[in-house]
Amino acid sequence: MTFATGARHGLSYIAEETFGTTPASPDMTRFRHTACSLGLRKTTLETAEIRSDRQISHLLHGQKTVAGDIDFELSYGAFDDMLAGLMQSDWSSDVLKAGASQPSFTFERGFADIGQYQVLTGCVMDSLRLSVRPDRLVSGKLSIIGKSSTLSETSLDSAPTAAVANDPMDSFSGTLTEGGATIGIVAGLDLLIDNGLEQAFVIGDAEAEALLAGQSRISGEIVTYFEDAGLLEKFVDRTESSLTLTLSGAGGSLTFELPRIVYTGAENPALGAGPITLSLPFTALYDAGEATNLKLTRTAA
């Protein structure tokens, strides 16, 4: 008897021209990942009928949802399509800004050791959590919401196009500036890009008719060693600032520029005899000069 294993798990994708419809004879592209929980979920409708024997007599399936996360290690060139989908925009001269053009994708999960494939259509990028820590690879968690799922014993594309194979990025090769000045006391940075997707269901169909984007919300947190009161004062005085993170690696670099941020907290507890750190959550706002709350720039090596 053969069981499916994560070591043989495959993941590929293609952009859709029509929401929820896989293009004919699709030329899929492999998706580099470290974990995947993307799958079909359903609500349940349980009867409220009261019986003298106390038993539940009916339970039906309700609305269908494709949802889950894909974990990955960031590398240059491998995730450009997903970043554009997340920002709901297109790369222009290697620059990507927040937009309002929502693309959708078909994903296929392949379980090669048991010859089974799961096709997930109408998939839209809901959010991305990016984490940068010392002595670690830069990791991301992409959350996805979709329309429908089917199972097959045949792959949509038995030979998907290989993903760009540059090495994952690490924290050693990056730079971080705060308020326009290089800052070298950061012990961690988390960034959340959230589209706030909602599903639009209608009577007569268990699948969502559409996925509706909310506001583009970008937030995060930097953790620094408590060196002086400079950053703490920015929170106290509500002084607006900026953050620019550049991550470099094989193939090139990615720069995440948040031209206008406001710190929303500042905690510096003393936990034992070790170093005291300052945790600064922040929210990014629309910047009129850049016409965006987040600007991504890719630069080939």
32-79 pLDDT tens trace: 999 999 999 999 999 999 999 999 999 999 999 999 999 999 999 999
Query: For the chain, what is the mean pLDDT?
Result: 94
Band the pLDDT of 247: cuts 50, 70, 90: very high
pLDDT on residue 55: 95
The residue written with tokens 């499916």 in the block is 4
pLDDT on residue 145: 98
pLDDT on residue 173: 75
79: nearest Cα among 127, 29, 121: 29
Bridge partner residues of 144 (DSSP)? 68, 125
278: nearest Cα among 215, 235, 216: 235
Band the pLDDT of 233: cuts 50, 70, 90: very high
pTM attached to this predicted model = 0.93
b/e per residue, 179-212, with b = 16+ CB within 10 A?
eeeebebbebbebbbbbebebebeeeeebbebbe
Q: How many CB atoms lie within 10 A of CB 97?
A: 18
% residues pLDDT > 90 (the chain)? 83
pLDDT on residue 9: 95
* Number of residues that make up the chain: 301
